[in-house]
C-alpha cells in the first residue's frame, strides 16, 4: 500500500466512527426519555392501566355486565364481605349487587375506548383540514 492509500483507509475509518456516533432524533428522544425518572414512571403507570383494561375478564372476580351473575342479595355489601357467589367484594357492592372493583376495571375499558376513539376522530379532522388547506394553496 502506498502512503495515500493508507491515508484514505484511515480517513474512511474515522468517517465511519463519526457516522456511528451520530444519533437519530428518535434515539436522542429515547435516551432523554429514559433519563427522566418521572417520564418512565408515568409510562409504566399507563402501560399497567392499559394491560389491566385489556385483561379485565381474566383479572376481575365477576363481570358487572353479566346479569346472570348479579344477585340482589349482594346489594350494598360493605368492603371485604363475601358475595353469594363466594368471591370477596374488596370495595363492596353497589345497589344492584355488582362488585365495585370489577365495575371500576371494566370502566377502564370504556374510558380508554372513548379516549382513543376521540383522539382518532380529532386526528382525522385535523388531517382533513390540513389536506384541504394544502390543496387550496393558502388562497
Model confidence at 1, pLDDT cuts 50, 70, 90, reads low
Q: How far apart are CA 61 and CA 90, in angstroms?
A: 10
What angle (nearest 5°) sits at the alpha carbon of residue 10, between those of residues 4 and 11? Answer: 90
- For the chain, the structural domain boundaries read 36-136
pLDDT in tens, 22-41: 788 998 999 999 999 999 99
The predicted pLDDT at position 137 comes to 85
Q: How far apart are CA 21 and CA 15, in angstroms?
A: 10
Amino acid at each position: 500500500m502506498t502512503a495515500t492509500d493508507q491515508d484514505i483507509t484511515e480517513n474512511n475509518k474515522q468517517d465511519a466512527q463519526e457516522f456511528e456516533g451520530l444519533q437519530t432524533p428518535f434515539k436522542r428522544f429515547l435516551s432523554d426519555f429514559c433519563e427522566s425518572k418521572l417520564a418512565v414512571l408515568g409510562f409504566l403507570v399507563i402501560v399497567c392501566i392499559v394491560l389491566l383494561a385489556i385483561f379485565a375478564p381474566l383479572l376481575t372476580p365477576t363481570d358487572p355486565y353479566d346479569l346472570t351473575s348479579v344477585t340482589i342479595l349482594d346489594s350494598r355489601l360493605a368492603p371485604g364481605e363475601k358475595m353469594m357467589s363466594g368471591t370477596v367484594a374488596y370495595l363492596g357492592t353497589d345497589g344492584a349487587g355488582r362488585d365495585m372493583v370489577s365495575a371500576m376495571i371494566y370502566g377502564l375499558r370504556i374510558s380508554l375506548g372513548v379516549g382513543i376513539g376521540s383522539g382518532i376522530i380529532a386526528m382525522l379532522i385535523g388531517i382533513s383540514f390540513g389536506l384541504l388547506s394544502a390543496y387550496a394553496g393558502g388562497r
